[in-house]
Structure 1
Amino acid sequence: MIRPTTPEDTNAIIAVAETIGFQPQELDYLKKMLSDYFQDGETDSFWITYAENEPVGVAYCEPERMTHQTWNLLLIAIREDLQGQGRGGKLLDYVEQTLIERGGRMLLVETSGLPDFERTRSFYVKCGFQEEARIRDFYTEGDDKIVFRKVLNAEG
């Protein structure tokens, strides 16, 4: 079941992030992002949870400031032991449909250019994204940022 994230999902979402390699400082930041989201109430940004018996996946999307209906997918993750079984694609489809319903025009996602992220980059290409940009040495020397783009409607 894919649904909006609730405050009760927080610990499970942190656990999912931990299984995919988030570092302690990144986990702390993720906790703060979730806390801020639930405290702020109504925002354009949204969190989506993929839940079975418990949350096993999460996606977070927010609008790009000062653009017309361009969105950033800042996080999409499925618990490591459940990857490769179609859950990530279903979660991404749900995000895209949510954005289309909101009038979303374009979705951007960025990831690392390191060899360890080849599976991630292949996932985005398989889901219809195209590599749009590469910023060399962005994260650190030798670790490029790769930006993928997907047009969500014919006006993009």
Structure 2
Amino acid sequence: MRCPFCQHEDTQVVETRGSDEGTVIRRRRRCPSCDKRFTTYERAELAMPTVVKKDGTRVDFDRAKVRASMQLALRKRSVSMDQIDAAVARIEEALLAAGANETPSSRIGELVMRELMKLDKVAYVRFASVYRSFEGVDEFSRLIREI
């Protein structure tokens, strides 16, 4: 790491601390040339894939949007916010693990349905009925039989 004061090429790490959440590492450094100290922060840079919508437009992945749609399906159900947050985290992990730069919105919908199936069957049916655009009772009956 180059010294921000004298531009010396090599600095020494004097102290290293992790953050409470374990997502950031704080390092105190000292320059052997000018003897000044400074702090650097190190964090993982994870890029979520771009979402390709049905009409072909591309938007950034929005965690809050996924969470809100799950909350709507889970409204008045006995599922905690911690469980919802954990489900959203699993969806993000699945998208990151795929390693793709882009993902279709349908893939995110399928991941949401998979997580809702684990959390609450009624919420799963609610979400699936909107997501799959059910036209009649027969489609509901078929979905319920599948569960």
Query: Does TM, normalized by the shorter one, top 0.5?
Result: no
**TM-score, normalised with respect to structure 1:** 0.31
Pick the structure with more strand per residue. Answer: 1
Q: Which has the higher contact order (CA 8 A, sep 6+)?
A: 1
Q: Which has the larger radius of gyration?
A: 2
Higher helix share: 2
